[in-house]
Amino acid sequence: MADQPTKQKLWGGRFTGKTDPLMHAFNESLSYDKRMHAADIKGSIAYAKSLTLIGILTKDEEAKIVEGLKKVGQEWENGTFEVKPDDEDIHTANERRLSELIGPLGGKLHTGRSRNDQVATDMRIWLLDQVQDITQSLKAFIRVMVERADKEKDYLLPGYTHLQRGQPIRWSHLLLSHAFSFHADYQRLQQLIPHISVLPLGSGALAGNPFAVDREFLAKELGFQFLAENSLYGVGDRDFIAEFMMWASLTMVHLSRMAEDLIIYSTAEFGFVTLSDAYSTGSSIMPQKKNPDSLELLRGKSGRVFGNMSGFLMTLKGLPSTYNKDLQEDKEPLFDSVATISACLKISEGVISTMEVHGDKMRKALTMDVLATDLADYLVRKGIPFRETHHISGRAVALAEARKCQLNELSLQDYKSLNEKFEEDVHQVFDFEASVERRQAIGGPSRKMLERQISVLRNALEN
- Annotated catalytic sites, by residue? 162, 283
The whole-angstrom separation of Cα 393 and Cα 422 is 11
* Residue 174 CB contacts under 8 Å (≥ 6 apart), including other chains: 157, 159, 261
Exposure b/e, 241-277, CB count within 10 A at least 16 = b: bbbbbbbbbbbbbbbbbbbebbbbbbeeeeebbbbee
For 23-53, what is the HEC assignment?
HHHHHCCHHHHHHHHHHHHHHHHHHHHHHHH
Question: What are the backbone angles phi and psi of residue 324, rounded to the nearest 5°?
Answer: -135, 150
Whether 31 contacts 92, CB under 8 Å: no
- Residue 168 β-bridge partners: 158
DSSP characters for 384-406? --HHHHHHHHHHHHHHHHHHTS-
Indicate the pairing of strand 356-357 with strand 273-274.
antiparallel
Q: Is the dihedral of CA 170, 175, 180, 183 positive or negative?
A: negative
The whole-angstrom separation of Cα 218 and Cα 22 is 38
Instruction: Give helix 90-102 / helix 115-151 axis angle, nearest 10°.
Output: 120
Q: From the CA atom positions of the chain, what is the Rg in Å?
A: 31
Whether 36 contacts 79, CB under 8 Å: no
Amino acid at 142: I
The whole-angstrom separation of Cα 304 and Cα 289 is 27
The runs of H, that is alpha helices, within 317-424 are 331-354, 359-364, 372-380, 386-403, 412-418
Give whole-number Cα distances, 115 to 65, 142, 201, 236, 324, in Å.
Answer: 18, 40, 10, 12, 12
